Structure formats: structure tokens, C-alpha cells
Amino acid sequence: MADTKRFEGYGVVVTGAARGIGAAVARRLAEEGARVLVTDVDPPEAEKTATALREQGLAAEALACDVGDLASVEAAVAHAVHAFGSLDVLVNCAASCTPDTPLFEDGPDDAWARDLDITLTGTYRCCRAALPHLAASGRGAVVNIGSVNALQDFGNHAYSAAKAGLVSLTRTMAAHVAARGVRVNLVVPGTVRTSAWEGRDDELEAMRALYPLGRVGEPADIAAAVAFLASRDAAWVTGTSLTVDGGVTAVNTGFLTATRQNRDA
């Protein structure tokens, strides 16, 4: 459990918070004193996450929210403001990632549209709904969850394009809302051990060699970065993308390995 209480009295909404990174973010902010609304398109799982937090004496509620539906988003924001008295932090974790087809030209329009709508436009919807309340709080902060897919080719064309769009949206929104006292930042995770990798332990183990720090990420690694950017410790930070990826985008491990093997031959 976090030792500090940087979010005492804060009202927080986390999207895509039923499991994985979103659940870890909800936990971290609640541990630091926040009242957290755990939102997700999977209401039973969202309730499980919120219940687990409450059982530890933390302040959490769950609510169904589909970031692809404006009415659902507005209802979640209104619920948080009513329940907590304010909305101080919005963390956009919800995303959609459709596997690529073997041939690029076979990719269906509906899969492309869904990934962009949930991952990029969904974040846009949530920011629009939350902004007046974040501005009113006097300490409002938005933290978006991006991906190293925005920086390099790790597959998943539509998801990657949407995450790249979040980099731009974070930057431009930060500039537009700075005068209203709201900060907007982005965390860029590398591979994180979540339910998306369930049953693929061999792949995760193989990836360890590609990460200079010798392991893939854990949801708590990303939650720690989110907590920093959402807190007053980052009071002079806005419009930035914080890469939390174990060094995978800093070093071409495969290239270095190949060249070293060639020298040693």
C-alpha cells in the first residue's frame, strides 16, 4: 500500500478499471486517499474490483460505463460528481485492440472503426464530459494511457494508430486547458502482464530478453506513473508523454545482440 496520501479528498474516475492497468490505477489512487469510481463495460468485474477495495477500507464505487456511448460517459461523470462532491482526476484506460489480419488489405472497416472509437474517441468523449468539473476543482488532471505501439511497430494497426492519436490529443488538449488549471499527460507503457496475456506465459518469458531492465511490466508499474502525473508532485508537468517501458524503446536489443554475435564469431 502507498505510504502517502496525495489524493485525500479527491474524486477520481478511472475508465476500463475492472482489471489490469485500470484496476491497478484505481487501487493506487484509492490507497493514496482518493474516492474512486471504477468504471467498465463489464459491470460485474468492475463491482468485484470496487468491492475488493472497500474490503480494505478504501473508498470505491463501481459503475457500468461504455466510453463508446456519450450518454454513458456523461452519466458516469455526473455520478462521480454527485457521489464525491467533485471530480479532480480522470484516468482514461479503456481501449479496444483487434488482432491484425494476416494481410493488411483484409482488415475490416468495423474493427478499425471500433479500435479508434473506443481507444481514441472514447478518451475524447470522457475528457469533454469531465473538463468543466476538472476545471472547477482547481486541481484537475487528466492522465491518458498510451502505448509503445504509438512509437514503434509492435503490431495491431488500428490500436497503434489510436494510441498515436492519444499522443497528439494529450498535447493539444493540454495547451487548450492549461489556462483553466487542468493538466493533461500520457503514460506510455511497454508490455504489461495483464489478462490480455493470459495463457501466454511462454511469450512473456521470451520477451524478457528484449527489455533492458530484464522483465515485462506489471500493472503497478503503470499505476505508480499515473499517480505521479495526477498528483501535485507533477504540478508543473503538462502535455508530456512519460514512457514506462523497461527501456524497450530506448534500445534495439535484437540489433545489439546480432552485432555482438557477429563480433564474437
Residues that are catalytic: 159
Q: Are the CB atoms for 63 and 37 separated by under 8 Å?
A: yes
C-alpha cell at 124: 475524447
Where b means 16+ CB within 10 Å and e means fewer, 160-188 reads bbbbbbbbebbbebbeebeeeebbbbbbb
Query: Can you give the length of the chain in residues?
Result: 265
Residues 6 or more apart in contact with residue 173 via CB below 8 angstroms: 127, 142, 184
Q: From CA 136, how far away is CA 96, in angstroms rounded?
A: 31
Q: Residue 9 gets which letter from DSSP? A: T
**Burial label, 33 (beta-carbon count in 10 A; 0-12, 13-18, 19+):** middle
